[in-house]
Amino acid sequence: MIETNNLTKRFGDITAVDDITLVIEEGKVFGLIGTNGAGKSTFLRMLSGILKPDEGSLEIDGMGVFENPECKKNFFFISDEAFFFLNSTPDEMARFYGKCYKSYSRERYEKLMGSFGLDRKRKISTFSKGMKKQLSIILGLSAMTKYIFCDETFDGLDPVMRQAVKSLFASDMAERDFTPIIASHNLRELEDICDTVGLLHKGGMLMSEDLDEVKGDVHKIQVVFPSDYDPAPLTERLRVLENEKRGSLYTLIVRGQEKAIKEILTEGNPVFMESLPLSLEEIFITSTGVEGYDIKNIIY
């Protein structure tokens, strides 16, 4: 488990990470969402022990991270701009990480290199951005660490490769003790993989929610009432977060228990009613709207 308490990092007059208290549970995919400059990279660099917090505390499995090799052997950090030794090949980087991590699996490295179709003997400096991202992921997964920290890992990958990487993460989570933490500026990239999502804005954590819990308490319902019926008295009894009307079709996003919501709407004798799944975007918009943030300007 990863725990931060009042975690803060400043660079001169700029507060990059501001008073973050957060718990990241094991065995779940945690997505860290935020625009460029929101503090995602700084937060991950503190998790990785590259940067020392100015204030607050940070522990991974009960251990401090900064200058603690015992803790650092449990995670692999894939930075936004991957670093490789000058003129090195994938095989040379694999041998290097094999010395850094006792858990490193050469067998898995060779299998993944074959699956991704990368040339093990080719100079990495001649790789494209997407190929370098793929190699970073291969090296990270081959380290077989408990945690993997990914900073804009999907940026530069084509849609097919993104899905392949997500499948590898899901497979590792099913087979071993593995927890990915993925930072991205693109909310839709994490739509189908995250269990918990945190929204970072101007260095502060606006919200961190377990998506299953949110989805259990917020519902999207489409309903059509008889043409001469005004549903306002019914909707006033509900905790309506959004209410959109197109022709005779109402689309409501409502907080509460689904059964109780539908029982109230049924009093209007609707000619049509169904529940629809909420997108990750809608969850964030509805969850932060009460705080007055223009969430659409933050997550895109």
Average of per-residue pLDDT values in the chain: 89
What is the DSSP pairing of strand 14-24 with strand 2-11?
Answer: antiparallel
Count Cα atoms within 13 angstroms, Cβ side, for 246: 3
Mean pLDDT of 267-281: 88
86 pLDDT more than 50? yes
Give the pLDDT confidence score for residue 300 in this predicted structure. Answer: 47
| pLDDT higher at 58 or 286 | 58
Among 9-13, 87-91, 93-97, 279-283, the least confident range? 279-283
Give the pLDDT confidence score for residue 242 in this predicted structure. Answer: 87
Kindly report the length of the chain.
Answer: 300
Mean pLDDT of 97-104: 95
For 86, phi and psi rounded to 5 degrees?
-55, 130
- 16/30 Cα distance (integer angstroms): 20
For residue 106, the 8-state DSSP code is: H
Mean pLDDT of 12-39: 90
| pLDDT higher at 298 or 150 | 150
38 pLDDT more than 90? no
Look at domain 2-202 and name its CATH class. Answer: alpha beta
295 pLDDT more than 70? no
Choose the CATH number for 213-299 among 3.10.450.50, 1.10.10.10, 3.30.70.250, 2.40.50.100.
3.30.70.250
Give the pLDDT confidence score for residue 292 in this predicted structure. Answer: 43
Q: What is the pLDDT of residues 41-50, one digit of tens each?
A: 999 999 999 9
Instruction: Identify the burial level of 168 via C-beta atoms within 10 angstroms of its C-beta, where 0-12 means exposed, 13-18 middle and 19 or more buried.
Output: middle
Residue 293 binned pLDDT confidence (cut-offs 50, 70, 90) = very low
**Rounded to a whole number, what is the largest CA-CA distance in the chain?**
75
Residue 286 binned pLDDT confidence (cut-offs 50, 70, 90) = low
Instruction: Identify the burial level of 135 via C-beta atoms within 10 angstroms of its C-beta, where 0-12 means exposed, 13-18 middle and 19 or more buried.
Output: buried
Give the pLDDT confidence score for residue 285 in this predicted structure. Answer: 67
Mean pLDDT of 150-162: 87
237 pLDDT more than 50? yes
CATH 3.30.70.250 residue ranges for the chain: 213-299
Q: Which helix (H) or strand (E) holds 52?
A: none
Contact in structure between 68 and 49 (CB atoms under 8 Å): yes
For residue 124, the 8-state DSSP code is: G
Q: What is the pLDDT of residues 249-271, one digit of tens each?
A: 999 999 889 999 999 999 999 99
The residues facing 273 across adjacent strands are 223
Q: What is the pLDDT of residues 190-215, one digit of tens each?
A: 878 888 988 888 888 887 888 777 77
Q: What is the pLDDT of residues 213-235, one digit of tens each?
A: 777 788 999 999 998 899 999 99
For residue 148, the 8-state DSSP code is: E
| pLDDT higher at 258 or 295 | 258
CATH 3.40.50.300 residue ranges for the chain: 2-202
The H-assigned helical ranges of the chain are: 40-47, 69-72, 90-100, 106-116, 129-142, 159-175, 211-217, 232-235, 258-266, 280-289, 295-299
61 pLDDT more than 90? yes
The residues facing 78 across adjacent strands are 150
In the chain, % helix, strand, coil (3-state, to 5) comes to: 35, 30, 35
Contact in structure between 142 and 104 (CB atoms under 8 Å): yes
Tokens of 249: 């079709």
Give the pLDDT confidence score for residue 290 in this predicted structure. Answer: 42
Give the pLDDT confidence score for residue 190 in this predicted structure. Answer: 80
